[in-house]
Chain A
Amino acid sequence: MPLLKIEKLSKSFGGLKAVSNLNIEINEGELIGLIGPNGAGKTTAFNLLTGVYEQSEGKILFQDKDMRGLKPYHVTQRGMARTFQNIRLFSDLSVIDNVKIAYHQRSSYGVFSAFLRLPSYYAGEEEMQQKAMELLKIFNLDHKAEEIAKNLPYGEQRRLEIARALGTEPKLLLLDEPAAGMNPQETHDLMNLIRWIREKFKLTILLIEHDMSLVMGVCERIYVLDYGMIIAQGAPDEIKSNPKVIEAYLGEEVV
Chain B
Amino acid sequence: MGKRINRQSVVTLLGVLLVYAIVQGSILMDILPPFIALTLIQVCIFIILSTSLNLINGITGQFSIGHAGFMAIGAYMAAIVVVKFQGPLMLALLAGALVSALAGFLIGLPTLRLKGDYLAIATLGFGEIVRIIFLNMEYVGGASGFSVPKTITWTWAFWLMVISVIIIRNFIYSTHGRACISIRENEIAADVMGINTTKYKIMAFTIGAFFAGLAGGIYANYLYIIQPLTFSFLKSFDILVMVVLGGLGSLTGSILGAVVMTVVSAALSGWPEWRLVITAILLIVMMIFRPKGLLGTKEFSLSFLGKKGEKNASSKD
Contact = CB atoms under 8 A, between A and B. Distances in A.
Contacts of B194: 73, 76-77, 102, 104-105, 168
B175 A104 contact: yes
Nearest to A97: B178
A62 to B, nearest CB: 15
Interface size, B (range): 20 to 34
A115 B185 contact: no
B185 A114 contact: no
Contacts of A116: 167, 170
Interface stretch (B116-124, B128-136, B138-146, B195-203): B195-203
A36 B167 CA distance: 52
Interface string A139-176: 00000000000000000000000001101100000000
Contacts of B308: none
Contacts of B317: none
Given A73-B197, A115-B171, A129-B1, A90 B192 contact: no
A92 B185 contact: yes
Contacts of A107: 175-176
**Main SS class of interface, A:** helix
A84 interface: yes
Contacts of B263: none
A93 B1 contact: no
B191 A114 contact: no
B4 interface: yes
A93 to B, nearest CB: 6
Interface in B185-227: 185-186, 188-197, 203
Interface of B: 1, 4, 167, 170-171, 174-179, 181-182, 185-186, 188-197, 203, 297
Interface residues of A, number: 40
A116 B174 CA distance: 11
Contacts of A111: 171, 174, 176, 203
B174 A114 contact: yes
A204 to B, nearest CB: 18
A32 B195 CA distance: 27
A128 interface: yes
A103 B182 CA distance: 12
A88 B185 CA distance: 9
